Amino acid sequence: MKRKLIAAVGAAAMVAGVTACGSDDDSGSGGGDKTLTVWAMDGSAPDPWAKELNKAFEAQHKGVKVEIKVQQWNGIQEKITTALSEDSPPDVLELGNTQTAGYAVTGGLADLTDMKSELGYDKWNKGMVPSTELDGKLYSAPWYAANRAVVYDKKVFEDAGVKPPKTRDEWVAGLQKIKDKTDVQPIYLPGQSWYVFAGFLWDEGGDIAAKDGDKWKGTLAGPEAQKAMEFYKKLNSFSTAPKDADEATPQQSTDVVPKGKVASWIGLGWEAAGAIEAIEKAGDKADFGYFPIPGKTADTPGKVFFGGSNLAVSERSPNKELAQEWLKMATSEKWMKKYAEATEGGLLPNSPAAQVKPAAGSFAEAMVKSSEAGALTPITPGWANVETEPNPIKEYMTKVLKGTSPGQAGKDADKVIDERINKS
């Protein structure tokens, strides 16, 4: 799988674009020498899949040509916002799942509510659905998602007599054994890996913010957040990672892990691939294993953040019906299965029925096991403001790890979240 493709998934502000539309059952309506414009992010879709999809769509819609315009990540949010306000926007866009609501509230996206049945709404992955809707209306279809898993050094675990854990308690006990029996850092976990913390918070039944009447309020001062941070702090105690930085500063996969002395870390598929590449480039050989982030009990994996993308149609599209037909084809079970095959199972398609069986022992296998526990940040147009640096969630985590009480740190963070999340 191309690293660019998977790298797209980890970004919190993921806004993107892909290719083609239509339905496998379309009779070939539409046509008349029209061009359907699709914004696709650099590296977002495998070329063979996109070309096959477009060819099938064009065959069903005589006189229609699908034109893919590849976009770069830098500045894409502003570019999409501007494009959606113009008279001739792209017909179809790929939007980051945490950002879709922000575009929907502006009126820039077409209402797809009447198409739920045609789009296969009831068969979509339940963890992906919330990001596609706003105020009870459907504004996009889920395309793909990915989540984090634990990457571990098989030799270090074997030397310490540790097996992949099934529960939180087993996880901590294993890290302690690695600490006692080896000179390797049991886990590399920076203080500001807030996506990981969010999973622990969801495990406790809490969230970063909650609806309070017509407003949203931060909830990091609550008992659920305190319990989540207590567990995060316990894991962090086995790590020498900085308490005031995230997993990208330095980049854990390419700047930390390849230097050795790291028994395990939490990351995405593209990070695992990047670490393997960097280790091999240095003349060594990586021997990684993977397991889902453990939950409190063995029967349920820990909650994980679903980073991914949705496909939407511009409200002002000059070819709205064609665009909707394209979206219907691109997100159908048939084409989502082809997509999953093209990405070698490394990304989760919008429907469990389209998921291909990943290779045994692969990162994808661990990721799929966690997918049933996928979750999203609060679905509200103002969420993007919360993630803006300085990120109050990150600052909250650092304060707690450096000794501030979770209650006080939570109150400080909630003030910032309250102000930001209620801005449109």
Alpha-carbon separation of residue 32 from 59, 64, 352 (angstroms): 13, 7, 37
Question: What pLDDT shows up at residue 345?
Answer: 79
Question: In order of start, what are the domains of the chain with their CATH numbers?
Answer: 3-146+306-375 (3.40.190.10), 149-296+379-421 (3.40.190.10)
- The 10s digit of each residue's pLDDT in 262-299 is 999 999 998 999 999 999 999 999 999 999 999 999 99
Q: In whole angstroms, what is the distance from residue 158 CA to residue 279 CA?
A: 20
Based on its alpha-carbon atoms, the radius of gyration of the chain, rounded to whole angstroms, reads 22
pTM value is: 0.86
- The 10s digit of each residue's pLDDT in 74-125 is 677 889 999 999 999 999 999 989 889 999 999 999 999 999 999 999 999 9
Question: What pLDDT shows up at residue 384?
Answer: 86
Rounded percentage of the chain residues whose pLDDT exceeds 90: 79
| Residue 18 pLDDT greater than 60, yes or no | no
- Whether the CB-CB separation of 323 and 91 falls below 8 Å is answered with yes
Sign of CA pseudo-dihedral 314, 315, 318, 323: positive
Residues 6+ apart with CB under 8 A from 354: 333, 336, 337, 339, 340
Report the DSSP beta bridge partners of residue 65. 35
Question: What pLDDT shows up at residue 61?
Answer: 96
Question: What pLDDT shows up at residue 43?
Answer: 63
- Whether the CB-CB separation of 39 and 90 falls below 8 Å is answered with yes
**pLDDT mean over 353-370:** 93
Write the DSSP symbol of residue 115: G
Q: What are phi and psi of 311, to 5 degrees?
A: -110, 135
Band (9; pLDDT cuts 50, 70, 90): very low
Question: For the purposes of burial, counting CB atoms within 10 Å of the CB of 217, is it exposed (0-12), middle (13-18) or buried (19 or more)?
Answer: middle
Question: What pLDDT shows up at residue 96?
Answer: 86
Q: In whole angstroms, what is the distance from residue 205 CA to residue 296 CA?
A: 12
Q: Which of 22-31, 50-59, 200-209 has the lowest mean pLDDT?
A: 22-31
| Residue 318 pLDDT greater than 90, yes or no | yes
Question: What pLDDT shows up at residue 13?
Answer: 32
Question: What pLDDT shows up at residue 32?
Answer: 56
Band (8; pLDDT cuts 50, 70, 90): very low
Rounded percentage of the chain residues whose pLDDT exceeds 70: 91
Q: What are phi and psi of 76, to 5 degrees?
A: -70, -30
Q: In whole angstroms, what is the distance from residue 3 CA to residue 251 CA?
A: 15
